[in-house]
Amino acid sequence: MVTLFKWKLSFFFLQLDQNHHSFFFLFLALASKKNLFKLTH
Cα 19 from Cα 17, distance rounded (Å): 5
Q: Which residues contact 13 (CB under 8 A, 6 or more apart)?
A: 24, 27
- Output the pTM of the full model: 0.32
pLDDT of residue 5: 81
pLDDT of residue 4: 80
Q: Do 37 and 28 form a contact (C-beta atoms < 8 A)?
A: yes
Largest Cα–Cα separation, the chain: 28
pLDDT of residue 8: 82
pLDDT of residue 38: 62
Cα 39 from Cα 3, distance rounded (Å): 8
Q: ∠ CA 2-34-28 to the nearest 5 degrees?
A: 80
How confident is the model over 1-41, as pLDDT tens digits?
678 888 887 887 777 666 566 676 777 777 777 765 566 55
